[in-house]
Amino acid sequence: MASGSYDVSPAPEGASAGQNKPDNTAFTQQRLPAWQPLLSAGTVLPLFILLGMAFLAIGLGLFFSSKNIQEVVLDYTGSPSGGGASNCSRCANLSANPLHHGSCACGISFELAVDFPAPVCLYYQLSNYYQNNRRYSISRDNEQLSGYSRALKNPIMDCQPYQYNASGYPIAPCGSIANSLFNDTFSLHRILSDGTMVPVPLDKRGISWWTDTNVMFRNPELVNGSLALAFKGTAKPPFWPNPIYDLGKGNPNNTGFVNEHFVVWMRTAALPTFRKLYSRIHQGNFSVGLPRGSYYLNITYNYPVLSFQGSKTVILSTLSWMGGKNSFLGIAYLVCGSACIVTGVAMLVVHFKYRHLNEDD
């Protein structure tokens, strides 16, 4: 048997047995009043059923609110297989050609069968696009996006291969997310009975999270009142036609890193099919929404998606008290509520069937 030894040396001079004893208070001696629920069939079973009924009520409200939201989905991928608007096929083929530079314009005519009350939101949607890829999602420099001069000139390693350009200049904004910025643009027109086209104002302000635009994303300090000079010594991302300080040029509150289209794109999506807000329609003659009738969506087609078998869609949608159209949350509440009620009923049956066993005990 293994033997052990113990230290039986006397305590240091001045030490006493009660020196490390906690204070004699209700908290340290655990004498505070406490309450512990006693779980019984009479308390648990009603709780299950009431909770299930509450979940069902919330789920029905969410589900029918989502169903009442009006949407128009316009696919403009222009794939050779016939997906999307046929007049965008030429633009799709041009965008897939690496030797092609410049924009291509196409459009879609569509009808609104019912009025769309304000505010109406215009989204763009991409499919088969994995923004949740680990290497892609971390390919950014948050300090650089916050306007720190040190990070502006020395991007982090996660931005590779879009950290520095071929000449050794730091890229701003660096990383794969910024380099792949969605750059299609849209304009909407209403077609009157005489063929006149009336432009629909698209409000592109307030489309990003407030915390993103006002906290996370900041431009560097201006140099002699110029944002371009603040970015001097940096290079644009390879896929961008213009540098960062030209984004939203002319509006100092929507230029550079705080450009809201850029901010919306930088908040990556969790699923391969996602939509992002492009603008709202709630101004001018369309302050009450979009009336039923004929419309024309003009598209500047820049973004290639055929290479990864993706698709591009524009969505016009109304809103409800719960936000945009999404049936998942309502269905989830309905499923959880049904599960609670079924579990409560099953436990109630078991309780009445076997309660005599407890009474005999």
Residue 44 lies in a domain: no
Highest mean predicted confidence (pLDDT) among 11-25, 100-114, 188-202: 188-202
Summarised one tens digit per residue, pLDDT across range 242-251 is 999 998 876 7
In the prediction, which pLDDT does 301 show?
Answer: 92
Q: Taking residues 49-75, report their average pLDDT.
A: 93
pLDDT of 218? 93
In a domain, residue 235? The reply is yes
Q: Is residue 140 part of a domain?
A: yes
- What global pTM score does this model have? 0.80
User: Which pLDDT band holds residue 40 (cuts at 50, 70, 90)?
Assistant: confident
The kind and range of the H/E element at 143 are helix 142-145
pLDDT band at 273 (very low <50, low <70, confident <90, very high): very high
In this predicted model, what pLDDT tens digit does every residue of 135-150 receive, in sequence order? 999 999 999 999 998 8
**What does the pLDDT read at residue 21?**
81
Query: Which pLDDT score is estimated for 17?
Result: 53
Alpha-carbon dihedral sign for residues 45, 47, 52, 57:
positive
Question: What number is the average pLDDT over the span 7-22?
Answer: 59
User: For residue 22, what pLDDT is reported?
Assistant: 84
Lowest-pLDDT choice from 40-44, 63-67, 233-237, 242-246: 40-44
- Looking at the chain, the whole-number percentage of residues with pLDDT higher than 90 is 59
Q: Is residue 65 part of a domain?
A: no
Q: Which band of pLDDT confidence, cut at 50, 70 and 90, is reported for residue 216? A: very high
Mean pLDDT of the chain: 87
pLDDT at residue 1, as a whole number: 46
DSSP, residue by residue, 184-239: -EEEEEEE-TTS-EEEEP-B-SS-S-HHIIIII--PPPPBTTBHHHHTTT-B--TT
Angle at 358 between CA 356 and CA 361, to 5 degrees: 110
Reported as a single tens digit per residue, the pLDDT across 175-211 is 999 999 999 999 999 999 998 999 999 999 999 999 9
Tokens of 210: 């407030």
311, part of any domain: yes
Contact 217, 224 (CB under 8 A): no
Beta bridge partner(s), residue 112: 293
Quote the number of domains for the chain: 1
Indicate whether 33 belongs to any domain.
Answer: no
212 assigned to some structural domain: yes
Query: Is residue 8's pLDDT more than 80?
Result: no
| The pLDDT of residue 99 | 63
Range of the domain at 145: 70-319
- Is residue 343 in a domain? no
- Is the per-residue pLDDT at 360 higher than 60? no
